[in-house]
A and B are shown apart, each in its own frame.
Chain A
Amino acid sequence: AQTVTQSQPEMSVQEAETVTLSCTYDTSENNYYLFWYKQPPSRQMILVIRQEAYKQQNATENRFSVNFQKAAKSFSLKISDSQLGDTAMYFCAFTSQGGSEKLVFGKGMKLTVNP
């Protein structure tokens, strides 16, 4: 069974700083997708960034980038130039490429960006 682990329950950072959120996962599959979701106080699940396992190039979306290490089963999220609006819960998630409907989530990490 796949598992996703987010070992840091909470972090805080100053506005404009860079912060890295860690995520590790366990799977025996070779083809899969990884995601980072943001959940602000509104509780809406917002997709931040996604990565295909077979792509070696790390995904980037504006201020957000990932460090994907397939052999180490690590998928960390880097947020550059942190903004107050980045304050939220962040969830790392995994899904198989094979069409399984199961998105496996980590327990989440609360990020607070301070002015």
Chain B
Amino acid sequence: NAGVTQTPKFQVLKTGQSMTLQCAQDMNHEYMSWYRQDPGMGLRLIHYSVGAGITDQGEVPNGYNVSRSTTEDFPLRLLSAAPSQTSVYFCASRRRQSSYNEQFFGPGTRLTVL
């Protein structure tokens, strides 16, 4: 199993540009989430999905869109990037019925918005 994969690893955008951060998992996990990590802070939940076709907002959803058309993929879209979105983004997944609600994290994407 590749686990949770994210692409790209690094990205630089200009203010106003759009892009999609890709996340995929091959563990057949129902739940998937996106977090952002800013300096001096822990990870904060952006959006999450409990299954294909179902998404919901987390703690910091503004400026981001998500959709979940398949179990495997959960892309995060920035429609008009802003410098405040400079951050490291992590995707995570878990099974609905899992011990400890344990989440598995991808390697992260470092995004810089100029």
Chain A positions within 8 Å of B, measured between CB atoms, are 4, 33, 35, 42-45, 47, 50, 52, 91, 93, 95-97, 99, 101-108
Given A44-B108, A105-B42, 10 more A-B residue pairs with CB atoms under 8 Å apart are: A33-B101, A45-B92, A47-B102, A97-B101, A99-B101, A101-B56, A101-B58, A102-B59, A104-B42, A107-B42
- CB-CB under 8 A from A43, the residues of chain B are 88, 107-108, 110
Expressed in whole angstroms, the minimum distance between the Cβ of B34 and any Cβ of chain A is: 10
| Complex CA–CA separation, A95 to B58 (angstroms) | 13
- CB-CB under 8 A from B68, the residues of chain A are none
- CB-CB under 8 A from B40, the residues of chain A are 107-108
- CB-CB under 8 A from B96, the residues of chain A are 99
Chain B positions within 8 Å of A, measured between CB atoms, are 31, 33, 35, 40-45, 48, 50, 56, 58-59, 88, 90, 92, 96, 100-103, 105, 107-108, 110
**Nearest A residue (CB) for B105:** A45
**Nearest A residue (CB) for B108:** A43
**Nearest B residue (CB) for A6:** B42
Expressed in whole angstroms, the minimum distance between the Cβ of A93 and any Cβ of chain B is: 7
A-B contact pairs, 19 of them (CB 8 A): A35-B102, A43-B110, A44-B105, A44-B107, A44-B108, A45-B43, A45-B92, A45-B108, A50-B100, A50-B102, A93-B42, A97-B101, A101-B31, A101-B33, A101-B58, A103-B43, A105-B42, A105-B43, A107-B42
List the 9 closest pairs (A to B, CB-CB), nearest first. Answer: A105-B42, A45-B105, A101-B48, A33-B100, A105-B43, A43-B108, A50-B100, A102-B45, A95-B101
**Nearest B residue (CB) for A4:** B42
**Nearest B residue (CB) for A95:** B101
Expressed in whole angstroms, the minimum distance between the Cβ of A15 and any Cβ of chain B is: 27
B100 touches A91 (CB 8 A): no
